[in-house]
Amino acid sequence: MWAKTLNLLLFIIVLGVSSCKEERQRTSENTSIKNVNYMEPYRPQFHFSPDSMWMNDPNGMVYHQGKYHLFYQFYPDSTVWGPMHWGHAVSEDLLHWKHKPIALYPDELGYIFSGSAVLDEKNSSGFGTESNPPLVAIYTYHDPEGEKSGKNNFQTQGLAFSLDNGESWTKYQDNPIIANTEDIRDFRDPKVMWHEESSSWVMTLVAGDHAQFYRSLDLKNWELSGEFGKHVGAHGGVWECPDLFKIKVQGSDEEKWVLLISINPGAPNGGSGTQYFVGDFDGKTFVTDQIEHKWVDWGTDNYAGVTYSNAPEEKRIFLGWMSNWAYAQSTPTDRWRSAMTVPRELSLHKDKDNEGFELYGYPINQFDDIVSKKSSKSIEIEPGAKEVDDYDNLNQSEVRFETNSNEFTMELGNSLGESLILEFKKDTLRLNRSNSGKTDFEKAFGEIVQKMPMPHLDSIFEVRMILDWSSIEIFIDKGKYVMTSQIFPNENYGQLSFENKSNQIMSVQNLEVSEVKRTWPTN
């Protein structure tokens, strides 16, 4: 009993010290931002990454007054996971980011786990006014002492609000707003939206192996309205980081609802991944007749992704954490760890059989603004032949082309003999990073050949690859098939080759290899 009491007292003292140090930490944080030059080995040049230390899930993604807010799981004292805070950054275009002070610190209720933020435009919460509506963040409290004691109810939901467009936050005095009365061990990651049809707020929350839906009129008082997923979808691991949204089917007036669910482990290529369901939502619960397991991204390094609230033109803009829990804490970076994916616009399409739906993900239009276009060329490759070209630096580039072949191999290599191999074989893409550079930091990183099925490729399809020092994102057929993977070459890739594996002439049309501009300021 005394040991438990002592542990609790120590925890409270640590939190108190953290609060007392807040202003000093913010000052130190701002100083470190001025000193960093974003040129460390493997540092992304146009993806979002933290100034320093550990980052994982994107949180609280909301657009307001011309700014995209990105909050994220952040531990300011180490490059491995620890007591979670909400880091904060803002951008006007989703590409050029400005770091802000930490938004939410742990307190006596626990660490600040993942969640979401909304603009309470009608001031339903009463935290603001009609002329100055609040931003409201809803997140999970994770009580480490409760977890250590063996209890299952150590995760609850909390709320904070801001009246100055996210510059400062006030935690709600009556937290938690949703207690864990059912003793659910994994009870977290609230994603909140406004449901126009029922004139109510809707929260999607994960509860271990399924999603729960809650309704509220004021963002403070919630009631359970429905559940989904206990016997649907992939269940190789815990369900996490849900997102529920309505989206129009391309080329029609039909609207459907999409539910994103991250899962760890249990992804198709091992470790972490994000599945999606297409169905209907009546304001209380979600239903689908989907049987097939569908994935937002087939690569190993896109997890916990969600979409922006209140985005202009009601676009569904997605960001994911570009890592995998199988090796996230071991990747070979020193000052910082982890990055986010390129922002992607999601769109929903009928599949070729007209029987189901496919969720596409493709870089936002404004990404083209940071691509320095090079002249394009077209080549034809005889069966069994190989085309090799040299470039200055492929590690900060975009490679685009169209082809009529689904049997060929692409290889990106350097003078050290390291190479990243992409093998297109009929209806499957295989990515092999076993000799791509540093891989020995974690056995799981280099061993698995990642596979992506592509059963409905067009006869001529686009391949678009975006490389940024320690990552490659591959978009096939305008985002119908997507694969994201981390890579850590010891030297820049400077060679790109195509090898025709078919018995017909391979046509590579409009091949463009372009530099992508750096988006971080030079201090």
Q: How far is CA 436 from CA 46, 236, 392, 412, 430, in A?
A: 21, 28, 18, 9, 14
Catalytic residue among 51, 57, 297, 477: 57
> Is the distance from CB of 469 to CB of 416 less than 8 angstroms?
no
Q: Name the percent of the chain in helix, strand, coil, to the closest 5.
A: 10, 45, 45
Q: How far is CA 363 from its chain centroid?
A: 13
Q: How far is CA 468 from CA 149, 249, 322, 345, 363, in A?
A: 43, 32, 12, 19, 14
57 is catalytic: yes
Output the CA torsion sign for 290, 296, 298, 302: negative
* Residues facing residue 58 across a β-bridge: 72
Taking residue 132's Cβ as centre, other Cβ atoms within 10 Å add up to: 11
What distance in Å separates the CA atoms of residue 44 and residue 290, rounded to the nearest whole number?
37
Backbone angles phi, psi at 29, to 5 degrees: -60, -45
Kind plus residue range of the DSSP H or E element containing 320 = strand 317-321
**Owner of token pair 């809707």:** 202
Closest CA to 430 of 483, 506, 385: 483
Q: How far is CA 208 from CA 144, 222, 230, 264, 464, in A?
A: 18, 19, 9, 11, 36
The residues annotated as belonging to the active site are 57
